[in-house]
A = this chain, B = another copy of it.
Amino acid sequence: MAKVRHSRFDCTPGCSVEAAIGLIDGKWKAIILWHLLAGTLRFNEIRRQVQSCTPRMLTNQLRELEDDGLITRKVYAQVPPKVEYSLSELGLSMAPILRSLKAWGDANIGLYGKPLGHDPRDLQPGGSA
């Protein structure tokens, strides 16, 4: 990671499990990555997918993801502004993690009384947040 903005990495050296979760912690990162798995999105498009995330937090999380090299930020010099976020190679390489998270959630979320729509689209990023 470029700047160690988040100090959550004090595990013993060489702990790859911590390394990985350290990048997708922070309440929104995993879902953001998940949605970007479906393709490039603009700022407000992400907001719409992750409604309960405030603009401030969204910016924050996107910046950390960018600093960690997981996503790419492309700014179009125009008015009104247009900024596109997409997964980098490294971000794409996290797909297995994201999919296993999704798969587990799909299989087990019902146990917690949380009804799951089982909407087929849910199996693809871009579905409900």
Residues of A within 8 A of B (CB): 1, 8, 10-21, 24-25, 27, 30-31, 34, 50-52, 69, 90, 93-94, 96-98, 100-109, 111-112, 114-117, 119, 122, 128-129
Contact = CB atoms under 8 A, between A and B. Distances in A.
19 contacts: A11-B31, A14-B109, A14-B114, A14-B116, A14-B117, A14-B122, A14-B128, A15-B129, A16-B122, A17-B101, A17-B102, A18-B31, A20-B101, A20-B102, A20-B108, A21-B24, A21-B101, A69-B111, A90-B111
The count of identical subunits is 2
Contacts of A1: 112
Nearest to A116: B14
A105 B94 CA distance: 10
